[in-house]
A and B are shown apart, each in its own frame.
Chain A
Amino acid sequence: GDSVTQMEGPVTLSEEAFLTINCTYTATGYPSLFWYVQYPGEGLQLLLKATKADDKGSNKGFEATYRKETTSFHLEKGSVQVSDSAVYFCALHSGGYNKLIFGAGTRLAVHP
């Protein structure tokens, strides 16, 4: 079945460091891909999305490019802030009824 694999966390960085969180997927057809972020004690918020190959989703300095050839959707940010500390979930949009399939999540901790 369809699935999402993310790099394990936690990822610990200093402020202004470069961030990469790897995400690869397995899916039939051509899924839409998403990154959701979950801040402590809160629900899931959509961070960015891409719907077809070579699309780049971007928001709040975060970027991810839909790479069909490598079935990847890695999340990057050039300079992280303490406020970026959260759990990041890669997800794909699967099936005819639009449910999301999530990866295991990667916890990011950014220190001053």
Chain B
Amino acid sequence: AAGVIQSPRHLIKEKRETATLKCYPIPRHDTVYWYQQGPGQDPQFLISFYEKMQSDKGSIPDRFSAQQFSDYHSELNMSSLELGDSALYFCASSADSTADGANVLTFGAGSRLTVL
């Protein structure tokens, strides 16, 4: 079965550079989420999109922006990178709630960003 695809899997950048992460959700999933997981930390919600519109916003820095495109893939753009941005970035997607009312997020394998 198709899963959530993230690219690149690994990325190394210098401070103050820019990085772009891509996410391809499961076909027919209408919602995409971005999470940031620092070393030894729990995933922190950054932002989500429903049908290409921003639907919710969490602890996303102003230096970061994201969008969802017409083909439903999403990109997370990070500028003026700082050392503290080094983390695993997960994308997840979901469809409308299942019959039991639970909305299940399916996560990608993550993109590991290292800022030097």
Which A residues have a C-beta under 8 Å from some C-beta of B?
A: 32, 34, 36, 42-46, 49, 51-52, 89, 93, 95, 97-105
Contacts and interface: CB of A to CB of B under 8 A. Distances in A.
B42 A105 contact: yes
A101 B56 contact: no
Interface of B: 4, 31, 33, 41-43, 45, 48, 50, 55-56, 58, 90, 92, 94, 97, 100-110
Given A43-B108, A102-B42, A102-B43, 18 more contacts: A34-B102, A42-B110, A43-B90, A44-B43, A44-B90, A44-B92, A46-B104, A46-B105, A51-B100, A89-B43, A97-B55, A98-B105, A99-B45, A100-B45, A100-B92, A104-B42, A105-B41, A105-B42
30 contacts: A32-B102, A32-B103, A34-B102, A34-B104, A36-B107, A42-B110, A43-B90, A43-B109, A43-B110, A44-B92, A45-B107, A46-B106, A49-B102, A51-B101, A52-B101, A89-B42, A93-B103, A95-B56, A97-B31, A97-B48, A97-B56, A98-B31, A98-B105, A99-B33, A100-B43, A101-B45, A102-B42, A102-B43, A103-B42, A104-B42
Contact of A98 (B4, B42, B94): B94
